[in-house]
Amino acid sequence: MLTRSTRLRQLGILLLLIPTQLLAAAGKAEAIVIVADSRSFTGWKAWWTNLYNESHFLFALATIVIIPTLGVILGTLTGLLLSRIGIDLRSRELAEH
Amino acid sequence: MDWLYALMPIAGVEIFWPGLIILGLGVGMIGGFFGMGGGWMVTPGLNILGFPMAFAIGTDIAQMAGPALISTARHTRFGNVDYKLGLIMVAGTVGGFEAGAQLIMWLERMGKVDFYVRATYLVLLTLIAWLVFTDVSRKMRKDREARAAGKALDKLSTGIEWHKRLHNIRIPPVVHFQRAGIRCSAWLPISVSFLTGLLAGVMGIGGGLIRMPALIYLIGCPTHLAVGTDLFEVAISGLYGAASYSYKGRTELMAAVIMLMGASVGAQIGSVATKYVKGYGIRIFFGFAVVGCAVSIVFKLIAAASPVLRAFFDKAATVLILGLVTSLSLYIFTRFLLGVREELAAKRMYRASV
């Protein structure tokens, strides 16, 4: 049987050790680096993989510019196509929950 | 048939690209119709197509902003987006999401949390499914009683009316959301969005699956308004997620762009289909989507608990999700086609009569 003071001492040691464990785990997670193999590509694909390897910041910037821009262009084209069919794309009856 | 496969420059894997277009089409339709990003559907789909899990999540989030923007623009035309409500909720969502992400990182360092996260997710989805179907059955009962009493059906009546009680808590500032037709304390949407953001952060999902019912049942938005306003939130959080995951090097832009080709068409079809379906129709099918998602999580939990059954239940969960995507997409597409046919026929009749 463990005495109350022993239990409290063990709990104290455990609490002291937890932050160390957390910091160690965080260190390992940050150390993971993914590198894209650009050797098998030419043209824009090679440029893209090189951009990824050189700067994740520029890679992220390019992604958040390309996705919405392309989305708006493709969406507009689809909208034009649907309106050509004759669908009313400007209004709908909004009278119920 | 080599031309049907494309080598992804970042992930370094060969992918069946028509599969990406089909997946994008389905998710665009479901997202535009129900008002969600659909991360819970895309991630297993991308994983099946051959993406490593880390890239599947990042790529899914990266493409999410595109169709969400398209759907938000279309729903804006239909008057389905309350931007004031959406902007107020963005603040709470971002705060909650960050708090949730920090919480989960802390829990991960402490040990295995997968089981607890999945179990919480399951409880939450069960609650949402219960909420949706209880609401639908109460609404049907109200309609039946009105019909029996010979009264006109109230189009604005709802089954569950929790939002009315919440609207009565008038902590200043009280805000009027004109488009949604709601007057309540600004703290209501802020706290609801913080809570849904926190849960989304802990679960590692976009949050549309939780936010859409929260907008309906806690804030009191009409269904179509909830769909449109939630898509506005998905677009913003999608952009934030795209930046965050790309900065961490976990997105495959080429796959996201290919998916976007299908998703842009799907998003328009899904958004336009809401024109032809009543609010409660959307709620019922949303309930089915939630049930399907919950069952897939039960499968995942069984797979995690039993090494013998792991392979079977992992596959079963994926088949279920993809089956759900297919059937919901087919339903939405059918409603779209029927609605368009009716609309065009009505226009022809009008022209003939003039």
Residues of B in contact with A83 (CB under 8 A): none
pLDDT-derived band at B231 (thresholds 50, 70, 90) equals very high
pLDDT value at residue A19? 44
Q: Which residue has the higher pLDDT, A4 or B324?
A: B324
Q: What is the pLDDT of residues B148-189, one digit of tens each?
A: 988 877 777 888 889 999 999 999 999 999 999 999 999 999
**Minimal Cα distance from A32: which residue of B?**
B248
Token output for B189: 């949407």
Single out the residue of B233, B203, B228, B206 nearest to residue B91, CA to CA.
B233
Q: How many helices (H) and strands (E) does chain B have?
A: 12, 4
Q: What DSSP designation does B277 have?
A: S
Any chain A CB within 8 A of the CB of B341? no
Q: What is the spatial distance between Cα B121 and Cα B105, in angstroms, rounded to a whole number?
A: 17
Is the pLDDT reported for residue A13 higher than 60? no
The residues near B87 (Cβ < 8 Å, ≥ 6 apart) are none
pLDDT-derived band at A21 (thresholds 50, 70, 90) equals very low
Q: Which of A2-6, A82-86, B39-43, B73-77 has the lowest mean pLDDT?
A: A2-6
Q: Mean pLDDT over all residues of chain B?
A: 89
Average confidence (pLDDT) over B196-204: 82
φ, ψ of residue B7 to 5 degrees: the values are: -85, 120
Any chain A CB within 8 A of the CB of B70? yes
Q: Could you please report the per-residue DSSP string of B232-255?
A: HHHHHHHHHHHHHHHHTT---HHH
Is the pLDDT reported for residue B100 higher than 90? no
Most distant pair of Cα atoms in chain A: their distance? 83
pLDDT value at residue B174? 94
Cβ–Cβ below 8 Å for B69 and A71: yes
Cβ–Cβ below 8 Å for B274 and A92: yes
- Residues constituting chain A: 97
Cβ–Cβ below 8 Å for B242 and A63: yes
List the domain boundaries for chain B. 2-353
Cβ–Cβ below 8 Å for A66 and B253: yes
**Closest partner CB to B74 (pick from A57, A60, A89):** A89
Average confidence (pLDDT) over B311-333: 90
Any chain A CB within 8 A of the CB of B249? yes
Average confidence (pLDDT) over B284-300: 90
Is residue B132 exposed (0-12), middle (13-18) or buried (19+ Cβ within 10 Å)? Answer: buried
- Looking at chain B from residue 167 to 196, which residues have their Cβ under 8 Å from any Cβ of chain A? none
A11 CA: distance to closest CA in chain B (Å):
16
Q: What is the spatial distance between Cα B323 and Cα B329, in angstroms, rounded to a whole number?
A: 10
Q: Is B215 helix (H, G, I), strand (E, B) or coil?
A: helix
Q: What is the pLDDT of residues A47-62, one digit of tens each?
A: 999 999 999 999 999 9
Is residue B168 exposed (0-12), middle (13-18) or buried (19+ Cβ within 10 Å)? Answer: exposed
Cβ–Cβ below 8 Å for A22 and B110: yes
Model ipTM? 0.82
Q: What is the spatial distance between Cα A51 and Cα A48, in angstroms, rounded to a whole number?
A: 5
Q: What is the spatial distance between Cα B72 and Cα B336, in angstroms, rounded to a whole number?
A: 18
**Closest partner CB to A92 (pick from B78, B261, B340):** B78
Buried b / exposed e over A12-47, threshold 16 CB at 10 Å, is eeeeeeeeeeeeebeeeeeeeebebebeebeeebee
Residues of A in contact with B274 (CB under 8 A): 92
pLDDT value at residue B342? 93
The residues near B334 (Cβ < 8 Å, ≥ 6 apart) are none
**Minimal Cα distance from B54: which residue of A?**
A34
pLDDT value at residue A17? 47
